[in-house]
Structure 1
């Protein structure tokens, strides 16, 4: 073992006399465990794909197609768990946070395996839009679950899979790799037909994913100089967040209220391939090194500033956030590959981003030129991302990641989703990039027409995601209906997109 592995005994998978594998959870997993809403099982991350099934037998009927798709995906779901057994783990909590353990129970017999499969592979028929099922009907779950949603539109069958996992098991990049692996297995199952043999359970525990500490250079304990450096960064962060005009999304005029909490819903806006190409070209000529992510974060800050209350005189506001960082490229082999997609190998940037803007006075309706403002802010965001992007496995944003998650984790007595006075609605934006670089659009007879993923907000926040699929940029958001309506959030996403187009001098209407 390496020296790093020998230090982390509590995070190593160990087997009990009863045949159950377990280990302590780390700071990242503890953060997501503390973010679970009361009565909802887990804090989820979701990947969805709309697809058609084009069998090789041209005479197949719709009924036969339905049966084949269900059978093939059910087998693929089983195979996925053999290669990614951490998907079937759960957390058992002790008396305090230090006693939380991640548990992997092996199957005792075929009956237990079938019970698990029936519990986690769900087939649901709907008449309307599957997104409405996701927004309004989908039930809480506790362990990774695959929903096959079948809808009939204009006489043609269009299927959808919703892969839903606890966020302490995987992340936004990992769940897309898992979705791709699922369809890869499904295509192979279909191709081989009755000759396909499911793997035999018994040694799958060898594939259990290690914690991020064991696959990078994160130390178990920190030196005095490291602690000092981390605290100096936190002092700067507190100064960033200590601002009288911190930006958040104002609540809707008529948000849904409920003593049990609202529903989490997803809305999205997208632009055409032609407009997407114009945006990509515009970002490249805006300034050296500026990317679509930098431009959209800047546009988000501008859009939020435009929604603030106008006063007689101009006043300063600030957009503050800490970005998510994918740590897979910094893990040692083979943990830097999709083979270990069932692990939350990511971090929150140690350093916070602060974007300062000015809300114009009521007598100045125009304010600053959108082109000038977007250009200036995009360069600032570019420089921030350059500063927080790890350059090696011993970078601050990697080695300090457990400390950052620990700082972000609320005490056990505090509910991060509770409504305390006037709600603050922060709007973080995550950029997933080109989804097709992680999920192939064609897997044998399975043709994926659209793919997206979503995470959930904390409290009154709105989780915004920027992604591209099929050459089209999509901006989506997940929000709580206690604070916002779907129409309101959709219009806000449109405002962000409009800020991008105007700031890049693209003369198009959404």
Structure 2
């Protein structure tokens, strides 16, 4: 009996050419790229960042050590091309059939290997840091690419080699958690290559790497090819709930204020707010005492702040925050797809039902007191706790995920290409992605490599805000991805500051 997923299995179509169809998760992101390609930018393109400091040995000059670090990064990147060959793959659409395929081309000879390395490991020496460079409208390559940013040394630490790594990739190849895993694996191999020197051997590209190509989510999670009648009815109920949530009769759905005028996206940007170790420690202790997580409290704050930045009405009115949550599905996948062996994949989902927080927007000149504000905060936190736990504990969610992705995927007309860029959303939203403790994925120290500031974002070409929450080495960071066609850094930084203020006031953090 033929496998229901035969089309999703990697198969050789020509000598050295391997292809498979894509599933609903991959098609969603591939579709969004086509929808916005007329802007010259890549919707949801992944950006991963990490800073490296390597102390220069006493028998080396900083220039010599820097060269060895760059050589080690090259060896590590080639090693990942063997261990995770899907970073060399590309999703395209067949013009005649409009079908999507993911294609991987083997390295047939040394020249292929060198060409791939030259194309996808790019040194950058602009005098900028990785963060500055990532905010300067960097290229959105069609193949996953690692940019090796040579950061000038400061006078106080001129015996260190500084490298910022910025990874850029289409989202139909890798997701956010996968990007962090990939960077963690890269650093581990680069550290080994740096320490071992000529003794470090890059695996041979002899065809054995084909076994490492990552499957689609449906295969990795062993998702059922067809839903049961009860599961289809659940999907229908979720769709009904989402429609009702977006059209409440007694409340106004909140929309993020934005600067009007632009009709096409500008530069994707990232702003960040970090808590120090003492603040983070207090926050974690108080969250635990409240039976909540940092994700619960900051998502509650994001909803409240969206309410707070609205223009005040003449009379108080009911308003509603409507959004969704993302769920990392690697725990739902079979071994080895649940492990760090398969970072270059899309193994995540969205909640099928809408997250709803109902609040009151007070009238102009009528500010709620501190007691009321704290109660609003804890009410919102309870909503978050219940919703996150409901999705987390849903034993069928992994099976429903592909169908939910399909429902969210826009239909693409066959022509013209490029398509007209969609206008800005009339009701832009604020979402949040929690990456958790990133130091469990990328340790702060690996051999001679000291690591700082790992983060990841998806290219924001809309007029909403995408918030990201993570903790690294005892310090929590709340960041935001936004587009400068509709928001300024001051606007976004103010939003992040307000979120912190809501959390600190709610939890009584000094």
2:125 is paired with a residue whose SS is strand
Match of 1:324 among 323, 326, 332: 326
2:455 is paired with a residue whose SS is strand
1:6 is paired with a residue whose SS is coil
Equivalent residues in 2 for 1:235-254 (5 A)?
235-243=240-248, 245-252=252-259
1:314-343 C-alpha deviation (Å, 9 max, x unpaired): 111111111111111111111110001111
Gap regions ≥5 residues in structure 1: none
1:369 is paired with a residue whose SS is helix
Q: CA deviation at 1:423?
A: 3.6
Equivalent residues in 2 for 1:8-407 (5 A)?
8-36=5-33, 37-38=36-37, 39-40=40-41, 43-55=44-56, 57-95=57-95, 99-155=99-155, 156=158, 157-201=161-205, 202-243=207-248, 245-252=252-259, 261-286=265-290, 289-366=291-368, 369-390=372-393, 395-407=395-407
1:497 aligns with 2:508: no
CA distance in 1, matches of 2:393, 2:179: 22
Moved more, 73-82 or 126-135: 126-135
Q: CA deviation at 1:35?
A: 1.6
Gap regions ≥5 residues in structure 2: none
2:27 is paired with a residue whose SS is helix
Q: CA deviation at 1:6?
A: 2.4
CA distance in 1, matches of 2:43, 2:100: 15
1:181 is paired with a residue whose SS is helix
Aligned length: 494
TM-score, scaled to structure 1: 0.92
Q: CA deviation at 1:247?
A: 1.9
1:364 is paired with a residue whose SS is coil
Moved more, 243-252 or 276-285: 243-252
What RMSD over aligned residues (CA atoms) do the two structures have, in Å? Answer: 2.0
- Compared with structure 1, are the counterparts of its residues 277 and 260 closer, same or farther at alpha carbon in structure 2 (3 Å cutoff)? same
1:462 aligns with 2:465: yes
Q: CA deviation at 1:180?
A: 0.6
CA distance in 2, matches of 1:456, 1:434: 22
Equivalent residues in 2 for 1:406-485 (5 A)?
406-413=406-413, 418-420=422-424, 423-457=426-460, 459-485=462-488
CA distance in 2, matches of 1:502, 1:326: 30
TM-score, scaled to structure 2: 0.92
1:338-368 C-alpha deviation (Å, 9 max, x unpaired): 0011111111111221011110011412267
CA distance in 1, matches of 2:429, 2:270: 16
CA distance in 2, matches of 1:137, 1:235: 39
1:57-102 C-alpha deviation (Å, 9 max, x unpaired): 3221111122111111011001011000011100121237851100
1:159-199 C-alpha deviation (Å, 9 max, x unpaired): 20012222111111111111010011111112221122211
CA distance in 2, matches of 1:357, 1:178: 40
- Compared with structure 1, are the counterparts of its residues 17 and 142 closer, same or farther at alpha carbon in structure 2 (3 Å cutoff)? closer
CA distance in 1, matches of 2:170, 2:287: 35
Q: CA deviation at 1:405?
A: 0.8
1:339 is paired with a residue whose SS is coil
CA distance in 1, matches of 2:357, 2:264: 35
1:479 is paired with a residue whose SS is strand
